[in-house]
Structure 1
Amino acid sequence: MSADFSALHEPLVEWIYDRTRADPLGGVSITEFGQSHGLTENQTYQLLQFCKGQRLLDDRHTTHDGPEANLTPRGLEWMEERRRRRADPAARAVAARRGLLVWLWHRKHEDVLLPAVADVLNDPLSLFEGERLTDRGIDRASAYLSAKGLIKGDRNASSDGPVQAEITAEGEDCVDNYQGDIGAYERRNTGGNTTIHIGQNTGNIAANSRDFTLNATTHSGVDLAQVVMAARALRQAVPILGLPEDDAAEVTQLATRMEEEATSTNPDPSRLQRWRNQAVAILSPVVSGALGSVLTTYLGVVLPVLPAGG
């Protein structure tokens, strides 16, 4: 039997995280995890090596008695960020809407007529950050998609949205051409200029323009007032950057964290640097045009690379 390590590595990291709360970087035997997923001992070792390749786990505690694993600092940070995303109601709502829409697209192409909306909860498309979405969340997603004209179907007295539904032509267009990203689908015909306010600087910025500039005052070290301005500018720009919906929600969350940290009693520059790096990592591969470039540059100006030990 072959093992799907790409599907099992995230559950393993979380399984270890849950069992090492008292000692986050301590080791734990993973034999039980392997057995519960039908893995041989050799496959369990291979899964651990796969996770090591992702730099999420290490095996420094492994002995001849069986495979043991511990979270790496990167793995611990990955889990903490995952739990934050999982607890974000806006991100969960986005995932529910997208998952339900794509699921109904598949049912339409399988010639399933008016499937029960709740059946999506039996599908991997109803997982968000490894956790199953709720009946209530799916009902709200159904109501939202129906209001947007992306699905249609039958309601009952106790539901907000259709309990049996099918995807509409508009919904199919959203999945076919925008991978179910409802925000991108709704922005498809949006044009014109958008005004972005950064501190005292105000300018008309076209989403795909090449002809504008943005000035930031810099000081040695980290200027927290500038960080706040950059975070607000980033959050304000998210709707016109054309990001996938999940990425847009994450960038918004990162910008909010940066602003809250910069205005806290004892700001931590390393946290600001980490969140800035995460935002840039999302923006850089997917955002084209001058606006995305200027925002990433601006973040680099107000949050320069910290010196070692800083």
Structure 2
Amino acid sequence: MARNSINQRAIEKHLKEIAKGYERAARRNPIRVPIQTEASAEGGALPGRETAEGAPVLSRLLLWLGEQAQLSSGSYVNVTRFVEEQRLDGEDPLVLAFELEKDDLVQVLRAYGGMPHVHLTDAGRAAIHRLKKLRTDRAARLRCTMDAFQRWLFDTAGDQQPADPALFLTSPAAYFAGSAISSDDLHEALAHLVEHKLIELIDTDPATVAITPQGVSCALAGGSVQDHINQSRPGTTYNNYMPNAKGIIIGEQQHFTQTNTDGVDPTLFAQLAGYIGQVSTTLGMPEADRAELERVARDLHTEATSANPEPGRLRQFATQLKDKLLEAGTTIAATMGVQMAEQALAALTQ
């Protein structure tokens, strides 16, 4: 499978053209895969992997019950209406009701001949409040999108065959805290997954992505994408490489152990330099501008892999790359590079 030339413009165009239609379709197909979240800044526990609030079908149901309660306070509501309105073929409304009751989020009225009529409890109302608050947590949304996309890609094309990333938006996996994952969420998640080599962009028509062997390992481990990323960063040993202008790795992957007393982690800068080497030919830049971009990337890589990287030089080269990528346009490849540069620069201030 040819993977050296990546048509980023095709991915950008393709996603924009179909994302709106897919998002409308996705609203009718919520998922049942639990979402793992973390502790809030206030120290309270947010919905977790095994709770009703963390399961997207039940999250949507909770929010729907909250809307019904506003229309008719104190009334019991038939969960079958929710299943029919959302076109959740295969879902059993009685089971959904019992799942919520198990966590004391609703009371189930058993006097309707088996029809699942429920009424929100105080715990259910509190769960709805937490869900709405969780929607504003950008980091949690990104983690969810990465996890959901990685699982979807593994289930859809775990044999590393190319798959259209925009199709994810039509899947029942494309939900977070009861709201549809947007194309912008997907773009950001793709950037991080590519950065950490869990997926790779493929130059096909339409543009596609493929899961990498490392991405397969991440899926099989059963944890979150962030857990996998954190485990792959032991101490101050950094694995880096610098592809040439066409994205071909020069020689074998080089491993080096670096000890510095300045508290500077050069990993993000080395990754940024390597990424530029991979995508520089896909940015549509004039030859002179592309050559200058690659020169700065090489300078950044040299500084990042030196014995004692100087923060000022790392900042200088990364800022230059960011500015040049902004000038290159709004393709997904350029946007990913800008995000990587911003992450690296932000790390210097921590």
Higher relative contact order (CA 8 A, sep 6+): 2
- Please state which band the TM-score falls in when normalised by the shorter chain: 0.3 to 0.5
TM-score normalised by length of structure 1: 0.47
TM-score by length of 2: 0.43
